[in-house]
Amino acid sequence: MSDEKNIVAVSAEEPASGGCFGRFCGRQVWSRWSCGKGDVSGFFQLFFDNVATTLTLTFLLGPFGLNLLQSDEIYDGFLPGLGISMVFGNLYYAWMACRLSATEQRNDVTANPYGINTPGAFAYLFGVLAPVGWSLVCPEGMDPDSAECVTWKSKETLAIGVSANFIQAIIAAALGVVAPWIQRVCPVASLTSALGGIGITFLGIGQFVYAYDEPIVGLVPAFLMVIIYFSGLRTGYVPEALVIAGAGTILGWADGVANAGLVEQATSVVGWHTPQFLLVSIFSNVSKLAPYFGT
């Protein structure tokens, strides 16, 4: 479609040519990409959705949540890996949309937005990472209460998580063969119930708790969101999500909920964090994941 809710729209041109390269990666494929107001609005909606999920997962993984990972593993392992996958995932989806448009000569193709699988992330966190991380026992001779032991558990949990993610990808790719059949047989409601339940529980109710904790800052954007998205109210050239976030930001600074000290504290970890490559861990921790394959 080419309406205001598209993430990536495409325009009609001549079929891609130039041999194999032209059909898959040539200029006639990528030149079909175009961007409109709806794309910008969709970008901000997807951005804030992924930011909310990322912050929630970062909190739960850290010492104030489930206490599974230390700061080094979060900012040098989890988040850089997530960022790399976001970039390549969205580029791949955009390429597939442009290629489909070029192949079928259609101008109504929209790329599927790539982001964090929210139901899978929470199921993975509570069903695999948390049980494995809490069950780890430090090597003999290491004080269980020492910082060395805590660091060892954090690194080991991250390594096991990488291995589990790799196995999950293999399972998902294998089950993808029967995905079209499942889509035809199962009602849409049965396929989206998990997404809706986890979204309401972790991303909906939890955020409303914070909203009522600071009602001036939290409830105004919440009701503004309901009005904009459910009444058909137009915001002109400004994306709807940006209007809602902007209103909350202005109220937060005006009410003192946000201040320079908190910004400085939040940005203390901002910087270049070299990703950790744990290729060996992918295969060395498979045996520890056997009880959780069903998850």
Instruction: Give the torsion sign (CA, 283, 287, 292, 295).
Output: positive
pLDDT of residue 237: 83
Tell me the β-bridge partners of 9.
34
From the number of C-beta atoms within 10 Å of its C-beta (0-12, 13-18, 19+), residue 31 rates as middle
pLDDT of residue 15: 44
Contact between 111 and 101 under an 8 Å Cβ cutoff? The reply is: no
Residue 75 has pLDDT above 80, yes or no: yes
Could you give the percent of the chain with pLDDT greater than 70? 88
Could you give the percent of the chain with pLDDT greater than 90? 12
Query: Which residue has 């909350």 as its token pair?
Result: 248
The alpha carbon of residue 94 and the mean position of all alpha carbons in its chain are separated, in whole angstroms, by: 17
pLDDT of residue 14: 44
pLDDT digits (tens, 9 = 90+) for 37-48: 777 888 888 888
Q: Mean pLDDT for the chain?
A: 81
